[in-house]
Amino acid sequence: MSRSTGREPRRLTRWWRGWSLRTRLTVIAATAIAVSVFVAFQLASELLDRELRDTAEDQLRADSRVLATKAERAGLTQVELPPYPGDGRLVRVILPDGSTRTPAGQPALPPLSEGAGRVARGASADLMESNDSEEGYFIYTLGTGDGAVQLAHAADDSPVNRFGFGMLLIGLLCVVGGALVGRTVARTGLAPIDRLTAAAVRVADTRDLDADIPDEGGGEIRRLIRSINAMLAALRDSRGAQRLLAEDAAHELKTPLTSLRLNVELLIRLDRRGTLDTALPAESRTRLLNDLGAQVAELSTLAAELTELARGDIGDESAELLDLADVVVAAATRARSRVPDIEIALDVTSVWVSGRPAALQRAVLNLVDNAGKWSPADQPVQVRLHAEGRSAVLEIDDAGPGIDAADVPRVFDRFYRADSARALPGSGLGLSIVQRVVDAHGGRATVARSARGGALLRVDLPAAAPPAPIARLATGEDTAVR
C-alpha cells in the first residue's frame, strides 16, 4: 500500500511535467480563476442568504408588533384576521387556553413549539425560530396580553439559487476567459524563450559560435540571454585557444619530427645497403644515436607539456592548505634527479598558502629547469622563498646571460623562445605553464635581472594563515631550509 501510494505522486509529477510550459501556465491561470470564483461564490451566497434572512426576520418583527397592537385593542379573540393573501405570509393568534386562530384559507402552520407556548404563557417576551420541515418557515412569536401573536414566512431560496446560477455562468465565462488570457500571456511571455531556444538550436546545428543571441526582453530573460552569450563567448575563446594550440603545436613538432625522420631514414638506407659500418664511423654513429635520443626526449617533453596545456585548467586537483616550502623542496629534489649536474641552493622559509600541490610543484620545477639551462656549471641556481606582507614570494635566480628587454614581455607566452634559446633543449611551454598555474592561484609572475646578472623570476602568491597547532608553536623566528 505504501509503495503504490508513493508511486502515485511521482506519476502525477511526470504527467504534469510532460506538458509544455505554455499549457501548464494556461491550466494554472484557469485553475486559479476557477478557485477564486468558487470561493467568491461561497462567500457571496452566504452573505446573501444571511442578508435575506435578516430582512425577513425584521419584517416579521415589524408586522408582529402591528398585529399585537391591534390585538391589545380589540382582544385576541376579536382581532380581525384578513383572509390569506397567498403571499407566503402566515398569521396565527395563540389564545390563553392554548387554542389558535388563523385567517380563512391559510395553509396550516407547523404545530406550536414548546418555546412558542412559553411566550403565550408570558414566560418569554418573544421568540424567533426557524422550521426545518419540507416547507421551511421563519416563525416569530410575540407575547401580548394573555396570549401571543405569531407570524411566519416561508423561506424562499429562489434569490440565492438565481444568484448561484448567475455566478456559475459568470464563473464559467471567467474560467474560459482566464484560460484564453493565460494562453495569450504565456505565448507573449514565452516568445523570448522560444526565440532563445531557436537561436540555441541554430547554434547547435551550425556550430557557429559567432552568432550572438539578440539581447531582448527584460529581467530574468535578459539575464538568461546575457549568460548564454557569455557562455558562447567563452566557447569561442576556448575554440580559438584550441585552434591556436593546435597550430603552434604543429609548427613546433615539425622541426624535431623532420630531423628525427631524416636521421632514421639515413640509418635505414645505410642498413639496407649493408654499408652502415663503413659509411658511418663509430663516432658519427654514436653522435647520431645521441641526437636521436635527444630528439625523442624533446618530443616526449613537448607531448607532456602539450597535454598539460590541453587540459585548459587545473580544476581536477582540489586546493588544500599547504606549506609552500615543502612544495619547493620536493620540486628541487625532482630537478636534481632529472639533471644531476644542476646545483640548487635553497633558502626557503615556511609560508602557508591555499593551493594545489601537484600544480604548484610542476610550476616550481619548470622554473628551476629553466634557470638550470642558463646558469653556468660553477654557479648554483638560487631558490628563495619568504613571506612578504600578505604574500608568499618565490624567487628563482640564475647567473646566466639574463633576458633581453625585448623578450621580457613575451617570456610567458606559449611556444615563445628567445633567439638565444633556440639552440637549447625545450619547447617554449614551461614558463607558459607556470603563468597558468600562478594565475589559477590568484598570484603574479614577473621577470627581472638578478644581482648576478642573470634572470630573476619572481612568483607572488596569496599567503594563508597556518593551521592552529602550527600557529601556536610558532616562535616568531623563521628557520631556513637549506
Q: What are phi and psi for residue 390, nearest 5 degrees?
A: -100, 20
pLDDT at 264: 79
- Kindly tell me the burial class for residue 318, based on how many C-beta atoms sit within 10 Å of its own C-beta (0-12, 13-18, 19 or more): exposed
Per-residue pLDDT, 404 = 66
Pair 203, 214: CB distance under 8 Å: no
pLDDT of res. 480: 36
Q: Looking at residue 302, what is its pLDDT?
A: 62
**Contact residues for 372 (Cβ-Cβ < 8 A; gap 6+):** 335, 339, 342, 381, 398
pLDDT given at position 356 = 87
Phi and psi angles of residue 422, each rounded to the nearest 5 degrees, phi first? -70, -25
pLDDT at 326: 93
Going along the chain from its start, the domains and CATH numbers come out as: 16-208 (no CATH), 234-308 (1.10.287), 317-473 (3.30.565.10)
Q: How many CA atoms lie within 13 A of 19 on its CB side?
A: 12
Residues 6+ apart with CB under 8 A from 56: 138, 153, 155
CA distance between the termini of the chain: 73
- d(CA 280, CA 401) in angstroms, rounded, equals 37
Q: Which amino acid is at 28?
A: I
Beta bridge partners of 143: 148
Which region holds residue 191: left if phi is over 0, alpha if psi is between -120 and 50, else beta?
alpha
- As a whole number of angstroms, the distance between CA 168 and CA 184 comes to 24
Comparing CA positions, the residue from 388, 390, 397, 393 lying closest to residue 325 is 393
Return the number of other C-beta atoms located less than 10 Å from residue 435's C-beta. 20
Give alpha helix (H) positions in 311-429: 324-338, 357-374
pLDDT per residue of the chain (482 residues) written in tens, 0 to 9: 455 555 666 776 777 666 676 677 777 777 877 788 778 877 877 887 788 788 878 888 888 888 888 888 888 877 888 887 777 788 888 888 878 888 888 888 888 888 888 888 888 888 888 765 555 778 888 888 788 888 888 776 667 677 777 777 877 887 777 777 777 776 776 677 777 777 777 777 777 777 666 666 666 777 777 787 888 787 887 777 677 666 656 655 665 677 777 777 777 777 777 666 666 677 777 777 777 776 676 677 666 656 655 555 555 567 889 999 999 999 888 888 767 777 888 999 999 999 888 888 888 888 888 888 777 878 888 899 999 989 999 998 888 877 766 666 667 766 555 444 444 444 456 777 788 888 888 899 888 888 887 888 899 999 988 887 665 455 443 433 33
pLDDT number for residue 383: 92
